[in-house]
Amino acid sequence: MFDEPTEQQVAAGDDLLWGCQEIADYIGLSLHEVQYLIRKKKLPIGRLGPKLLFASKRQLRRHLTSSTQLIEKESAA
């Protein structure tokens, strides 16, 4: 689904997404959906102060992949 970044990209900071809109664009959800998931603590995000949010592409991929696998297991049962 997502390509793993190279170690050089991660080291250069290309792994970080800044703000809700970048996170939403990256994972293919609307801004409102991402804000809801953040409020419910369903996404692995960090904060710098009260308003500036950031997320690691690698952590988002890992989180979404594991969440998808859980949903598939539950629906198969």
DSSP 1-60: --PPPPHHHHHTTTTEEEHHHHHHHHHT--HHHHHHHHHTT-S--EEETTTEEEEEHHHH
Residue linked to tokens 């992949």: 65
Residue 5: inside a domain: no
Q: What digits encode the pLDDT tens for the residues 11-45?
A: 556 899 999 999 999 999 999 999 999 999 999 99
Overall domain count for the chain: 1
Residue 50: inside a domain: yes
Residue 28: inside a domain: yes
Q: What digits encode the pLDDT tens for the residues 45-60?
A: 999 988 899 999 999 9
Residue 16: inside a domain: yes
pTM, 2 dp: 0.73
Residue 2: inside a domain: no
17 backbone dihedrals φ, ψ, rounded to 5°: -110, 140
